[in-house]
Amino acid sequence: MSVPSSQRGATALKAGGIGGGGRRAERQTTVSVKDLISGEAVEELQRENEEEEEREKEKRSAEEAENLRVLIVGLGNPGKEYERTRHNAGFLFVDRLAETVGVNLTYRDALQGSLGGTSVKWRKRQTDVAFLKPMTLMNLSGDSVKKACAHFGIPPENVLVVCDELEMAAGDATVKVAGAPGSHNGLKSVAHSLDSRDFPRLLLGIGRPPPKASVSDWVLNELPPRDMASLALAIEVGCEVCKRWVKDGDSTRAQKMLARKLEEKGLKSDGREGRRSNSRRGGRDSQARPQRGPSLRNSPKIRTDQERTSRDEA
């Protein structure tokens, strides 16, 4: 008597399990994919995988190379005796900015300056930010800036230089996209060393001396408490604006933001028509002996990195 096909199938399942065919099915499952294709095909797939990995590696390297790199330079004179002088407004700014982002500055002999750095992400693009305080004396600041730019591969247009400005009242500030350095010896040195005037600046007002007073003595003298408080406020606003500049690189937008925020604080972004003397503009001898003013160690929101910065004296 013949067995119905449905019963034959059931018998097969019972005898051989779910796979059916027992050992025969087991032997078939031991055949690997590699055995089903030629050796040349395997090698071709391996080459393609290696090429894909190499392309991904190159892409990552290109993305890293395309990371925006900026250098923020504060100009001033090294040494405790200069810490709170008008000419060190740039140092005070970089100290404060580095503090707000948790960066410590360390003296780098090869760069002749105190250096620190951080990285921020903005719109899926990473931005590497370096902070520099040249320790060369004001008139030679460009030497340190040039070395830092060469070391990190940063073009002049990505260098923001922060310094004092005689033609603006204490507490006023402005962003200048590019142009001549004027009479500021630190800016002159930077422009000469970079062989370019195409670098943005953040200028912090320190005011002019009284008529017939020495400009060099003025810039190397400490700010009185009231002016120091105004400068401290401008620095706080400037730090916020600087962070925005780092993120979008738009100096014009940074200037507008600075003007708006300073106005909110009762200060000016275009201090050139503000509180200033009509005395004749003089040169600035940044290496003259400073004259000490009243103690300002309790001035708000201004700290130096004297203890945070370690200097290699060797």
Contact indicator for 199, 190 with CB cutoff of 8 Å? yes
User: Which residue type sits at 76?
Assistant: G
Name which of 156, 153, 162, 148 is nearest 192 in CA terms. 156
Which residue is catalytic, options 87, 151, 184, 192? Answer: 87
Give the whole-angstrom CA distance, residue 231 versus residue 244: 20
Give the whole-angstrom CA distance, residue 277 versus residue 274: 9
Catalytic residue check, 192? no
Token representation of residue 190: 């930077």
Token representation of residue 88: 């060190």
- What distances in angstroms separate CA 48 from CA 38, 39, 186, 235, one per listed residue? 16, 14, 55, 55
Q: What is the 3-state secondary structure (H, E, C) of 224-285?
A: CHHHHHHHHHHHHHHHHHHHHHHHHCCHHHHHHHHHHHHHHCCCCCCHHHCCCCCCCCCCCC
Catalytic positions, please?
87
